[in-house]
A and B are shown apart, each in its own frame.
Chain A
Amino acid sequence: MAKPLSIFHRSLSSNIEQEASEMEMNTVMCLLTDAEGTPLGSAMYIPHNAGHLQLTNLVNTFLNNEEKLSYSFYVSDEELLVSVGTYMERNSVSVENVLKIVYRQQAVFRIRPVYRCSQTISDVHEGEILCVSFSPDGKQLASGSGDTTVRLWDLNTETPMFTCKGHKEHVLAVAWSPDAKCLVSGDRDGKVCCWDPSKGELQGNALSGHKKWICGIAWEPAHLSYPSRRFVTCGKDGDARIWDFTLKRTLIVLSGHTRAVTCVKWGGDGTIYTGSQDSTIRMWEITQQGQGILKHILKDHAGWVNSLSLSTEYVLRTGAFDRTRQVTCSDEEMKKIALERYIKAKGKIDSLERLVSGSDDFTIILWEPSVSLQPKQKMVTTARLTGHQQLVNHVYFSPNGQWIASASFDKSVKLWDGVTGKFITAFRGHANCVYQISWSPDSRMLLSCSKDSTLKVWEIGTKKLKHDLPGHEDEVWAVDWSPDGEKVASGGLGKALKLWKG
C-alpha cells in the first residue's frame, strides 16, 4: 500500500505545492488520522489555505473512494471549520509541530430537519400515550397507551389504521422486530401481546409470565436470526424473560437481579445486557443447549440504572433496512446484509460494541470490552461521564456510534464523544425535565422531548438549537424519529399523537 500511496502523495503534493508556490503561502505539516487513531499515509505538507473541501478531496483520494464521501475534520476534538492556516493562527500552534487532523465520515445522506407539525391526532387514543415506535423499514408506526390499546397508524394519510385490543392494563412498551414483521407490546400487568402488524390482530393470547409490569423489550438482532423469532422482556419483578414469537412461550428466564430491571438490550454478539434498579448491569449469554447463563456483573453505578445503549443499537434496531433498500431479498440475503451493516457499524471486525449506561447517581458510564486475555469478554469502565446535576433518564448512542447523548432531569441534554467519553457540549433550553431523546438517522440532529411539553431539535454540527417544536398540551413522554428520516412521532400526557415533518 505504501508505494501507490506515495505516488499519489507525490503527485498530489506536487499539485498542492504548485498551488502553494502560486499562492506564495506557507505550508503546514499535517497528519490525517481516523477516529481510532490509525494514520492515513504519512505526515505531509498542506498549504495554509487548505480548507474543508481540499481536505475532503485528499481523504477521498487516499482511501480510493469511488464516490466522493463527505467527512468532517476535528483537531484536538474541536471541529475544523476554517482553513488550516487560520486555525493555526487563531490557536497559535507552532508551525514546527505536526498537526493531527482526525477525519470522520459523515453520512452520505442528509436528513431534513423537522420543523412543522403535519398532523395532530387528538381523539383517537383515550389514554395518555406511553410509547411510540416506528417500524425498522419506516413504513408503520405503533403507539401504546394508557387506554390499554396499541394503535397502528398509516403514515401516508396520517390516520389511524388498526386498533389492537388485547391488553387489560396500560401498555408500557412496544417493540418492532428487526425484520418489521412482528410487533410485541408489554403492559402494566406483566402481559406480553404479539401482534400481526399487517392486519392489526392479536396472535395467540396475551402471554403471562412476568409478575409485575414490563419495563422494556428487545429483539434478537437480525444478523443472528432471520426471520426474527426471539425477544427478551424485562420487568419490575427483577426477571428478564426470553420468549419465542412463533411458539408463543417463554424459553428462558434470566433471574438474578434483586430489584426491578429497567432496561434490556440484545447485543450484536448475542450477549444480553440488563440494567436494574439494584444499580448493577448483568451480561447474559445463551448457550447452545438453550440455557441462559450469567456472564458478568458490572457494578460501578451507585444508583438505579435507568437506561442502556449500545454503540451499534441503531443498526440492530433497523436490521437489514437501509434508508433506501426495499424488502425484496430472500431471508438469507437479508441476514447477510444485516451482518454487513453490523460489522460496518462496529468498526473493526474484532472490536466489540461499547455500552453506555445512565443512572440515578447523576453519572453515565461508558463500558468497553476489556482487552485482557481472559477467556470471557468482560466490560470495563472506560470513562465515567459526570456533569449532570440530576438523574440521567435516557442515554442513546448516535446511529454512527460517534456520539452519546444523555437526557437528564436537570433540564439539559449533554453530548459526549462516543469513543473516549469526553464531554463535548450541553444543550440547554428546556424548561423542565428532559425525558427521552431520538437521533436522526444521519446522526446530524438530535431530538429531545420534555416535561415542559415541547420537543427540541438540536444540531450537532453547530451545537445549537435548530428548531423548537411546541404544541403539545402537556408533558411529552415518548418520541421517535423514523428510520428513513422523514417523520417524527411524539405523544404524552395530553392524549394527542403528533406527527412532525421536515
Chain B
Amino acid sequence: MPQGDYIELHQKRHGRRLDYEERKRKKEARAVHKRSKQAQNSIGIKGKMIAKKNYAEKAQMKKTLKMHEESSSRRKADEDVQEGAVPAYLLDRENTSRAKVLSNTIKQKRKEKAGKWEVPLPKVRPVAEDEMFRVIRSGKRKTKQWKRMVTKATFVGPGFTRKPPKYERFIRPSGLRFTKAHVTHPELRCTFCLEIIGIKKNPNGPMYTSLGVMTRGTIIEVNVSELGLVTPAGKVVWGKYAQVTNNPENDGCINAVLLV
C-alpha cells in the first residue's frame, strides 16, 4: 500500500505505459479464469466463503434477469382455474360452506347438552386430592388416618357449627375461612369487597363444592346489594355469580370477576 501519492504523481508527470490499455484489457479478461481457478482450488474455510459469495451473486443475477424478462406486453397468463365453481346466480351470494354450517350446529348441540356457561376461565388446572387435603393422624397411637384437613381457602356459612370432633372427617381450619371476596366488574373495571353468600360450583368436583372449598375457577355467589343493580322488572338484585381468578391459599385473599 503506497504511503503517499508518488504513484499518481509519476503517472501525472510521465503518463502511463504505452501498452497500458491493452494490458489492462487482457488482465481483466484473464480475471475471470483466475477467479474460477481460485474458487476451484481453494480449500478449507476460504473455499467455503468464496463458494457462499459466488452463490449469493448467482441468485441475485437470476433475480435481476427474471425481472428484466417480465415484459410489459400482455401474454396469456396460465393461471390455475379457481376452486369452488358456482353457478352465476350464486356467485354474488356469500354462502357459508356446508362444512362450517354443520360444525356450527354440532357445536351448538354439544354446548346445550353440556349446559356450559360462558365464564372468563373456562378451564383450570385440576387440583389433586393430596394437594387439597392433608392427612391428620389421630388416635392414642396416632395410627388412625381417616381425618383430613383442607389446605385451601374455604367458605362456611354464617350458621356453621362443627360436627363433634370425634366424627369430623374433614377439618376446615378457621384460618383458611373467608367471608369476603374482592370482586371486579368486568366492564366498569372497578373492584368491590363483597360478602360471599355461597359456593355454586367448584370445577374439581362436587365433593369440593359441598365442602365449600374455593380454588381458582370456582363459581361463587356474592352479595351485590351494594352495587344497586335493578332487574328490568324493577326488583333489586342482591346476589350475583362471580368466578375466582387467583389462588386464595397463596395470596390470603379471594379475587373474583363478576359474571354479568
Question: Which residues does A use to contact B, with CB under 8 Å?
Answer: 127-128, 130-131, 145-148, 168-170, 172-173, 188, 213-216, 236, 260, 262, 277, 306-307, 393-394, 435, 477-478
Tell me how far the C-beta of B125 lies from the nearest C-beta in chain A, rounded to whole angstroms: 45
Which of B14-22, B61-69, B84-92 contacts its partner?
B84-92
- Residue from A128, A148, A172 within 8 A of B88 (CB atoms): A172
10 smallest A-B Cβ distances: which pairs?
A146-B85, A170-B85, A172-B88, A128-B85, A130-B87, A215-B88, A477-B87, A127-B85, A148-B81, A130-B85
Please determine whether B88 and A435 come into contact, CB atoms closer than 8 angstroms: no
State A478–B86 Cα separation when bound (angstroms): 11
B interface majority secondary structure: loop
Q: Apart from A146-B85, A173-B88, what 12 extra A-B contacts exist at CB < 8 Å?
A: A130-B85, A130-B86, A147-B85, A148-B81, A168-B81, A169-B82, A170-B81, A188-B82, A213-B91, A215-B88, A236-B91, A236-B92
Instruction: How many A-B residue pairs have C-beta atoms within 8 angstroms? Tell me.
Output: 53
Please determine whether B89 and A435 come into contact, CB atoms closer than 8 angstroms: yes
Q: Assign chain B's interface to a size class.
A: 10 to 19
Please determine whether A146 and B92 come into contact, CB atoms closer than 8 angstroms: no
State A173–B92 Cα separation when bound (angstroms): 15
Tell me how far the C-beta of A450 lies from the nearest C-beta in chain B, rounded to whole angstroms: 13
Q: Which chain A positions have C-beta within 8 A of B90?
A: 477
Tell me how far the C-beta of B75 lies from the nearest C-beta in chain A, rounded to whole angstroms: 13
State A394–B89 Cα separation when bound (angstroms): 9
Q: Which chain B positions have C-beta within 8 A of A147?
A: 81, 85
State A127–B85 Cα separation when bound (angstroms): 7
State A478–B88 Cα separation when bound (angstroms): 11
A interface majority secondary structure: strand
State A145–B85 Cα separation when bound (angstroms): 8
Q: Which chain B positions have C-beta within 8 A of A216?
A: 88
Q: Which chain A positions have C-beta within 8 A of B82?
A: 169-170, 188
Q: Which chain A positions have C-beta within 8 A of B88?
A: 130-131, 172-173, 213-216, 262
9 contacts between A and B (CB under 8 A): A127-B85, A128-B86, A130-B86, A131-B88, A145-B85, A146-B81, A169-B82, A477-B86, A478-B87
Q: Which chain A positions have C-beta within 8 A of B91?
A: 172, 188, 213, 236
Tell me how far the C-beta of B229 lies from the nearest C-beta in chain A, rounded to whole angstroms: 41
Q: Which chain B positions have C-beta within 8 A of A213?
A: 88, 91
Give A170's nearest chain B residue, CB to CB: B85
State A170–B85 Cα separation when bound (angstroms): 6
Give A127's nearest chain B residue, CB to CB: B85
Give A277's nearest chain B residue, CB to CB: B92
With A169-B82, A170-B82 already in contact, the answer to whether A393 and B92 are too (CB < 8 A) is no
Give A131's nearest chain B residue, CB to CB: B87
State A477–B90 Cα separation when bound (angstroms): 9
Question: When each residue 4-32 of chain B gets 1 if its CB lies under 8 Å from chain A and 0 otherwise, what string results?
Answer: 00000000000000000000000000000
Question: When each residue 76-109 of chain B gets 1 if its CB lies under 8 Å from chain A and 0 otherwise, what string results?
Answer: 0001011011111111100000000000000000
